[in-house]
């Protein structure tokens, strides 16, 4: 496994491998890897001759009050985990090379980015789509792997890839969970034991909502209200949003129908956690 | 020469040619070709094993009051001209395929796009950078050719390519002119004989300004004022702007220094024409 910091060198390597007719799989990450990331890596290694993972904590997707500086980092451990799973290259660029002085170009999806997480994190998805576009141009993958846990991000990246005619297959992988259901997240490490217990309210509420829909409930506002009340009943939780949206433009649904995403974001103590489940409703 | 309307087919062709280790040159155009375009084509054919030209009048770079519907089109003549010069593929996509229902993603350079042409054409460059990004992903060129006549566009595309790490060499070609100096433009066909005569004021004013700088004048405001007065003295001309800007972020210069662009836009009758000259000032 090779660690690559130089962006041009990464492009040269990818072009050379592509000319050898090797398919390149790409797993972009912000590091501090958990089993959710590693599942993406394993799938890429299984599907492609070459796998590139990137480790880059992207400043432009954090708000001014958010945890960019404190975001957990552990490169040595990440490299061990990636090497064990057969990754070929790790792209680890300097932030000054990714955003040099005078940087001025952004990629923005203008639908579905101002709702859910985009409401409380106004420039978050603009930062995500810009850095993912850049990473795609650095790595030139044939396939790119994203977790369903960041459901809105996944849907927005798919829209970007389609709209801008990027010739890349976006592969979605299911959310990896602890045994009790909590979605894996690098931010789970912030949780105290009491908060870790309380955090379960998110997944439990999603599950309960899924069950009610499967039992025939179709009233979006009633389901939303029940989710809000469930989260509010947990003393350590502070609701950001609970929504049921269509998966095309992430529009909130008053009547539940079609391919949907049930999504919740809540602060548990001072840690913001998100989770979602996807359903096809007839 | 092959005419390709299907975007996926174009991508497959480009990928196949690249795997044969052929370099792909790309000339994006809005059609109604003149010698300015053809010079770009000739350079691409000389420099690369494969040349792709596109003919696509891009609606998103026209304002609501502008000439999208009336923009001159003559595909048969364009195809003859491109074939004569040895172009391999012409990409001619349907507007509904380029911008399908639900299209929502834009690429935007946020510096240098609200001045000069960007001031009177507010979303023009957003439309340009978005469609050029899309065309790049359709054609996957190694090199792309742009005319210096659209000077601001060229500088903005260079910035986009650099900022988004697009692995494409942007090649600039000098403006092609009529014998008397008028820059070639598809819009020159709108001019009456009197307007055609009056249009010369643009190039003559640029030349006069260049001479004054070469003679030692460094006062940006004095030079700007002289340009404005020269254009206003022509009864058929209506000034949009006359500016001397730095070539990095297109900032207007009070003191002339460094790599600069002298740029003028004016309506001649109802036809908006632009032109510019580039200078390196010590």
pLDDT (tens digit per residue) in B139-170: 999 999 999 999 999 999 999 999 999 999 99
Does A11 contact B at CB distance below 8 Å?
yes
Give yes or no for B209 touching A (CB within 8 A). no
Contacts A109 to B, Cβ<8 Å: 104-105
**Token pair listed for B239:** 């000034």
pLDDT for the residue numbered B102: 94
Fold held by B186-276: 3.30.1300
Average pLDDT over residues B125-135: 98
ipTM of the complex as predicted: 0.96
Residue B150: predicted pLDDT: 97
| pLDDT tens-digit series, residues A179-227 | 999 999 999 999 999 999 999 999 999 999 999 999 999 999 999 999 9
Does A186-276 match A2-173 at the fold level?
no
Inter-chain residue contact A134 with B19, CB threshold 8 Å: no
DSSP A108-149: EE-SSSSSTHHHHSTTHHHHHHHHHHHHHHHH--SEEEEETT
Which chain A residue's Cα is nearest to B22? A19
pLDDT tens digits, residue range B225-245?
Answer: 999 999 999 999 999 999 999
CB atoms within 10 A of CB A197: 15
Which residues are registered as beta bridge partners of A89? A2, A52
Cite the active site residues of A: 37
User: For residue A126, which residues of chain B lie inside 8 Å, CB to CB?
Assistant: none
Inspect the interface and report whether the beta carbons of B165 and A21 lie closer than 8 Å: no
Write down the CATH number for the domain with range A2-173.
3.40.50.620
- A249: chain B residues, CB-CB within 8 Å: 102, 104
Of B226, B198, B232, nearest to B212 by C-alpha is: B226
* Mean pLDDT in residue range B19-33: 97
For each of chain A's 282 residues, which pLDDT tens digit applies? Answer: 999 999 999 999 999 999 999 999 999 999 999 999 999 999 999 999 999 999 999 999 999 999 999 999 999 999 999 999 999 999 999 999 999 999 999 999 999 999 999 999 999 999 999 999 999 999 999 999 999 999 999 999 999 999 999 999 999 999 999 999 999 999 999 999 999 999 999 999 999 999 999 999 999 999 999 999 999 999 999 999 999 999 998 999 999 999 999 999 999 999 999 999 999 998
Instruction: For residue B105, give the nearest of A103, A163, A249 by CB distance.
Output: A163
A96 inside 8 A of chain B by CB = no
| Closest-approach residue (CA) in chain B for A17 | B19
Residue spans of the domains in chain A: they are 2-173, 186-276
Q: How far is A136 from chain B (nearest CA, A)?
A: 9
Closest of B200, B188, B190 to residue B237, by C-alpha: B200
Contact of B157 with B129, CB cutoff 8 Å: yes
Taking CA–CA distances from A106, the nearest residue in chain B reads B108
User: How many Å lie between the alpha carbon of A104 and the closest alpha carbon of chain B?
Assistant: 5
In the prediction, which pLDDT does A262 show?
98
Segment A1-15, tens digit of pLDDT? 999 999 999 999 999
């Amino acid at each position: 496994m090779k660690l690559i910091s130089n962006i041009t060198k990464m492009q040269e390597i990818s072009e050379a491998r592509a000319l050898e007719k090797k398919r390149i799989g790409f797993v972009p990450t912000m590091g501090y890897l958990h089993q959710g990331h590693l599942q993406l890596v394993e799938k890429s290694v299984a599907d492609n001759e070459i796998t590139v993972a990137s480790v880059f904590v992207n400043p432009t997707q954090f708000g001014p009050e958010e945890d960019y500086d404190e975001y957990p980092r552990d490169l040595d451990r990440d490299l061990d985990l990636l090497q064990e799973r057969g990754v070929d290259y790790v792209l680890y660029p300097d932030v000054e090379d990714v955003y040099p002085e005078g940087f001025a170009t952004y990629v923005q999806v203008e639908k579905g980015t101002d709702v859910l997480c985009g409401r409380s994190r106004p420039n978050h998805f603009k930062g995500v789509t810009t850095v993912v576009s850049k990473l795609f141009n650095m790595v030139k993958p044939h396939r790119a792997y994203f977790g369903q846990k960041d459901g809105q991000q996944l849907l927005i990246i798919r829209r970007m890839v389609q709209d801008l005619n990027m010739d890349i297959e976006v592969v979605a992988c299911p959310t990896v969970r602890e045994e009790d259901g909590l979605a894996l997240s690098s931010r789970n490490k912030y949780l105290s034991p009491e908060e870790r217990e309380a955090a379960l309210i998110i997944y439990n509420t999603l599950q309960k909502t899924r069950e009610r829909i499967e039992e025939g409930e179709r009233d979006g506002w009633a389901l939303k209200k029940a989710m809000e009340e469930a989260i509010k009943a947990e003393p350590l939780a502070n609701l950001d949003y609970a929504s049921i949206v269509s998966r095309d433009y992430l529009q909130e649904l008053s009547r539940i129908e079609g391919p949907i995403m049930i999504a919740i974001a809540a602060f548990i103590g001072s840690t913001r956690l998100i989770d979602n489940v996807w359903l096809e409703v007839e």
